[in-house]
Structure 1
Amino acid sequence: PMHDTSDRYVIIFNGEILNYKQLKAELIEAFGISFNTESDTEVLLNAYIHWGEGCLSKLSGFFAFVIYDKEKHDLFVARDRLGVKPLLYYIDEDKFVFASEMKSVLAYNVPKEIDWASVRQYLTLGYIPEPDSIFQTIKKVPAGTYMRISKERIEQKKYYQIPEKPIQNHTIEFQEAVATVRTIVDQSIQDRLVSDVPVGAFLSGGVDSSIVVASASQHTKNLHTFSIGYHDAAYYDETKDAELVAKTFGTSHTTYKLTKNDLIDHLFYCLDSIDEPFGDTSTLPLFLLSKKVSSKVKVVLSGDGADELFGGYNKHKAEWLVKHPDWKLMLAKVMAPVTKNFTGSREGAFGDTIRKMNKLTEGMKLSDSERYYAWCSLVNDRTLNDFLTIGNKGEEEYNKRRAHSLRRFNHKKYDFNTVLNTDLELVLGSDMLHKVDSMSMASGLEVREPLIDYRLVDYVTALPAEYKRNAKTGKDVLKQAFKEELPKEILNKPKHGFDVPLMDLFSKELKSWILDELFTEEFVKDQGVFRWDYILNIRNVISKSGNYDEAQLWSIIVFQYWWKKFMK
């Protein structure tokens, strides 16, 4: 904690204020403040003292902080615009407990009452969207929100909002948008290179991290870049692409090639870093990469958020196809009776193609909002209800939360920007940014995401949808901004997820642990969440090394491990 000079205010702060030097100069000029340190914490505290909640609109960076006013006996709580830094809290008549991690809140004897609507959300999506958590008693401060808490009242207000209605500023020409995106991205990266320690960059070999490296290498000498691959799983390995980018921009590059033993050795460290069920399959490789990189540098840039902002996911490509049918969609329809007889999988090119085609043909039958949710989900509602034994517990609240997540689709005119704006609110903060912060911080590494700088988000959300996603490509305006520098192989490569070959581990090296610890009849029936015949079916698949949706299976494994740790 830091106190101001009068000792009236005290702040606890997690994050970085990137423009603190400019704010410091502004505070000195306007109020004649004498600063005692060179820290951004002191600048932030004084910014609040003199500007109140108005300071939030001046901040550039990623942050979660709480300020206590000893004179008024009230608390001011705030979180950054897009939710890079987490902030959880518990409140009752006697106390207000806040922390960046669930286990820190639970340390204060907070009641552990399961939120069954959250369980439904988790098993459907693979994560629990803010402001809710796995426990009824603990909430998350939503992104772009501040709270005032006193004995008399609790006020919560949004100070930053992803557009509710789609905006399409057609007065901006495409080439003008390309130039502006380039300028903002370059500035955002320069801002995030300012540090007391060397700054490196994650380099997957995909477009987004390559763009970050292309820009960063122009503004810093001897940029260190890092990529991760697998010795015995070629489908998941992009290290050759990463090495091509590193060579193009002259970075000091390190490639980490993982083995099965690496994954197994770090699995439990990774799972123990998850204090709320979180089922993203890229959690483990990100944890491993962060662990290895933290021995070289303490701060890295990443390309996270560009897919949500610019429409880069395969689901965005599929959505565009549904709304602008061409031969690919016709082929998917014709092949549907055949592909539905195959089990989709992320384990190889064929299985992944089947998985995507099956999702596409299922989605074509749904409304815009239902299709969006289906393509975000691991399972549909019917399947979820089939394997749960909790009756209708949490169902009504789950349906309310789902409807709130999809509220943007209620506006009469459908717009592809509706999909992207919903992603920015639902998926980006609660899934992507949560994963990156929790896994990197558990490894002692700070990750900075220049492609979701609020200035870029404000500009891009207002651009016509076709500037982002069109028949040929996703992230078009972003790619065009860097097309002169990026190798063509990188610019034109299809989207590749940051996954890990899980199913092979589940049916071999991890089989006995899963069957004997997590999926036993005694544990499952005592737990009272899953139907035993459903778990028995999974046991049979694992025992026979059969095919199963590994993302869905991973989410259940994580849930069972978490339950044993926190609820037994």
Structure 2
Amino acid sequence: MCGITGIFAFNLVGKFNKIHITAATISLERRGPDHQDTYFDEFVGLGHRRLSIIDTSSEAHQPMWDETKRYCIVFNGEIFNYAELRKELEAKGITFTSHSDTEVLLKLYIHQKEKCLHKLNGFFAFCIYDKQEQSFFVARDRYGIKPLLYLFDEDKFIFSSEMKTILHYGIEKKLDYSSLYTYLQLNYIPAPDTIFENVKKLLPGHYITVKNRKLTVAQWYKIPYNSDTSESNNISYNDAKAKISKLLETAVQRRLVADVPVGAFLSGGIDSSIITGLASKHKPDLHTFSIGFKDEKFFDETDYARLVAKHFNTEHTVFSLTNNDLYAHVNNILNYIDEPFADSSAINVYILSKETRKHATVALSGDGADELLAGYNKHAAFHRLINKGVKEKAIESLLPLWKLMPQSRSNPLSNVARQLVRFGEGARLSTPERYWRWASYATESNVETLLSETSRQHLDQQLYNTRKSELLRHLGDKHTINDILMTDMEVVLSNDMLTKVDLMSMANGLEVRVPFLDYELVNFIFTLPSHYKINDKIRKRILQDTYRDLLPKELYNRPKKGFEVPLLKWFKREMRSLILDDLLSKEFIESQGIFSLSEIQKLKQQLFSSNPGDVHARIWALIVFQWWWKKYFK
């Protein structure tokens, strides 16, 4: 796990940007605290920051060259099946000078070029420079676990693990208003777009070739999914459970390989508990970690985490936090975010990663299971509408009543009212629009009124609509839960959940591995019919049934908790001055010119009212953006 960057200059103008390679590499220090090195030639610069996981010796440092000095690699990630791949290569007479997965990847590419990607089991973003051919080959893993941003123009090609590194090359910063429009709805910006017009994210499962001043992007992987085929799959439920059990245990075993301490995140939920249980079978000294909230018992799951830790006899550490402990990290997190990203649970992940890093360098997590197997409230809501009955029609018809009730995430009763309103509103929309509404914190009309007249003039509505349609391409009026899950994999998982974990873990030099996203497991799960995953009574049905004999019975039939933070309380107390007198002040909004002052005033009024609804999520998105804007524009 590391940070990578590089530049390919096409002319003298591009070569001028190349002088920034060292500073750009230094900016990745938190991703790779163990070693730094760079390579330069007339037109190319490559930089690498290393977090040593496999083969911690200097022989595994990067940039790494093959023995002919033709090929050079900078690599971020892990290849879990590198030992098997190495044996295959050695059988063909290929020799190695290190014990690293990096060298295996380099040699595999040399002999198989882009076809090597299909053999890789792991997560990665890497660039291989062919000095003889004068070309770059840049690739990203199947699901976007590792980030890869790039800029391409007539003068140069630049890539990096982080936006802040791209900015170190002195590029023009031009706001993409279509991305801003999307961000203010979703609280994140989906790939391939970024907050800047000229910077893109390489889509998961894609690669880039740069040669002769031309850039080519190609897709090398997509989930082998066919809605009709999966729904008619006649594999028995018991056989499917057995296959999942085998694939997931193998996935966990693969992810325990490291030359540094390995632990596991343990929230006390089903997903992380399964990963912990499987890992403890193969690592008896497994250390598990969780965080609890002294002041927020509604969101605290540490009792369940302790129960699971005791059940599997792990060494368990709970980081018990007050609201003040959480708030103390907000400034550090806002400073680290280099593209607007407003999933507030990133604060929890940051603190969990920071504390875990004191004990381990690698942590397993249960991420991905909800998107794969229908674990969210919205999946239950879609299931209910697909199988619509009297109850669902009543909820929809009573929408005006639900809107009169106080709505907030802060307590169970107001949270139910909030969910009823969202269900009733979504039920009246088409499938794609319903998905978009339930994935969003604000509607398109909300955001249109929030933007200033000048911003609306900059907004390319046709471009926005095209991007949105591409994100929702799997959804039609006739749809299944599997279609929803496929959209989640491509929209929510890679752009929100995985981005959050990568950002916050790498900010603390911690590698997080996700067994549920082993591609063999993912491919199999998407062959299964929807009713194996969810029915009227249970979400993640087949996963829960597969591991009933493994997990403590107390974990079943308990409410699913969010990994949330007390934003509303902070906004009304600790952050009140920051909101009113700085980031959303009249003076700042007017001088900035991006937002409508009157709409900002309405949001602030709602925030401090007795019925805030979901406005705190919208305010957080504004805080993140304003903090970011001041850092990079003002």
Q: TM-score, normalization: structure 2?
A: 0.87
Looking at structure 1, the residues matched to 486 and 598 of structure 2 have their Cα atoms a distance apart, in angstroms, of 39
Distance 1:47 1:509 in 2: 54
Alignment of 1:35-50 (within 5 A): 35-50=96-111
Equivalent position of 1:325 in the other structure: 388
- Give the Cα separation in 2 of the matches to 1:543 and 1:84: 38
Task: Say whether residues 1:139 and 2:200 are aligned partners.
Answer: yes
**1:195–1:80 distance in 2 versus 1, CA, 3 Å:** same
1:162 aligned partner? 223
Q: 1:463 aligns with which of 528, 537, 549?
A: 528
Cα gap change, 1:191/1:219 in structure 2, threshold over 3 Å: closer, same or farther? same
> Residues 370-424 of structure 1, C-alpha deviation per residue, up to 9 Å, x if partnerless?
11111111111111112111224132211110011111124x7422211000100
Q: Does 2:615 correspond to 1:553?
A: no
**Residue number in structure 1 paired with 2:312:** 249
The match for 1:59 is: 120
How far apart are 1:153 and its partner, in Å? 2.4
Q: Structure 1 residues 482, 567: CA separation in 2 closer, same or farther (over 3 Å shift)?
A: same
C-alpha contact 2:64 2:72 (8 A) present in aligned 1: yes
Counterpart of 2:239 (choices 164, 176, 182) is: 176
> What residue is the counterpart of 1:364 in the other structure?
427
User: How far 1:488 sits from its partner (Å)?
Assistant: 2.2
Give the C-alpha shift of residue 343 in structure 1.
3.6
Mapped to 2, the partners of 1:82 and 1:429 lie a distance apart of: 6
Secondary structure of 2:68 counterpart:
coil
| CA distance in 2 between partners of 1:539 and 1:225 (Å) | 40
**How many Å apart are 1:543 and its aligned residue?**
5.1
1:309 Cα deviation after fit: 0.5
- Shift in Å at residue 255 of structure 1? 1.0
Distance 1:481 1:544 in 2: 46
CA contact 2:426–2:437 (8 Å) conserved in 1 = yes
Q: Distance in 2 between matches of 1:240 and 1:327?
A: 38
1:148-547 superposed matches below 5 A: 148-163=209-224, 165-166=226-227, 167-168=229-230, 169-326=232-389, 328-330=391-393, 332-333=395-396, 335-389=398-452, 390-392=455-457, 393-410=459-476, 413-542=478-607, 547=612
- Report the residue type matching 2:320 in the other structure: K
1:545, CA displacement in angstroms? 7.1
In 2, the alpha carbon distance for the partners of 1:4 and 1:22 equals 20
1:115 corresponds to: 176
Give the stretch that moved more between structures: 143-152 or 186-195.
143-152
| Amino acid across the alignment from 2:472 | L
Aligned residue for 2:223, secondary structure, equals coil
Q: Would the alpha carbon gap of residues 334 and 132 (structure 1) be closer, same or farther in structure 2, given more than 3 Å must change? A: closer
Alpha-carbon distance in 2 for matches of 1:311, 1:544:
35
Structure 1 position 87, deviation (Å): 0.5
Take 2:233 and 2:359, find their aligned partners in 1: how far apart are those partners? 46
Superposition deviation, residue 345 in structure 1 = 1.3
Distance 2:287 2:201 in 1: 35
- Unaligned segments of structure 2, at least 5 residues: 1-62
User: Whole-Å Cα distance in 2 between the matches of residues 34 and 454 of structure 1?
Assistant: 28
- Does the alignment pair 1:5 with 2:71? no
Q: State the one-letter code of the partner of 1:538.
A: L
Q: What corresponds to 1:88 in structure 2? A: 149
**Secondary structure of 2:124 counterpart:** strand
- CA RMSD, Structure 1 to Structure 2 (Å): 1.5
**Higher alpha-carbon deviation: 372-381 or 549-558:** 549-558
Q: Are 2:397 and 2:424, in contact at CA under 8 Å, matched by a contact in 1?
A: no
Judge conservation of contact 2:261–2:359 (CA < 8 Å) in 1. Answer: no
Contact residue 524 and residue 532 of structure 1 kept, 8 A: yes
Aligned length: 566
Asked if the contact 2:190–2:491 (Cα under 8 Å) also holds between the matched residues in 1, the reply is yes
**Matches of 1:138 and 1:424 in 2, distance apart?**
23
Note the residue ranges of structure 1 that are not aligned, 5 or more in a row: none
Distance 1:543 1:311, change over 3 A: closer
1:329: Cα distance to partner? 2.3
Distance of aligned partners of 1:197 and 1:308 in 2 relative to their CA distance in 1, 3 Å threshold: same
SS at 1:408's partner residue?
coil
Query: Using the alignment, how far apart are the partners of 2:595 and 2:298 within structure 1?
Result: 33
Cα distance change of structure 1 residues 468 and 336 upon mapping to structure 2, 3 Å threshold: same
1:427-477 Cα distance to aligned partner (Å, 9 max, x none): 110111010001000011110000111111100011101101111111111
Q: Which residue does 2:15 correspond to in 1?
A: none
Which residue does 2:85 correspond to in 1? 23
Distance 1:487 1:321 in 2: 29
Rounded Cα–Cα distance in structure 1 between residues aligned with 2:578 and 2:534: 44
Q: Percent identity?
A: 46
Q: Distance in 2 between matches of 1:408 and 1:99?
A: 30
2:73 and 2:151 mapped to 1: Cα distance? 18
What's the secondary structure of 1:162's corresponding residue?
coil
Cα distance between partner residues in 2 of 1:368 and 1:539: 32
Distance 1:443 1:102 in 2: 17
Judge conservation of contact 2:368–2:514 (CA < 8 Å) in 1: yes
Separation (CA, whole Å) in 1 of partners of 2:297 and 2:394: 28
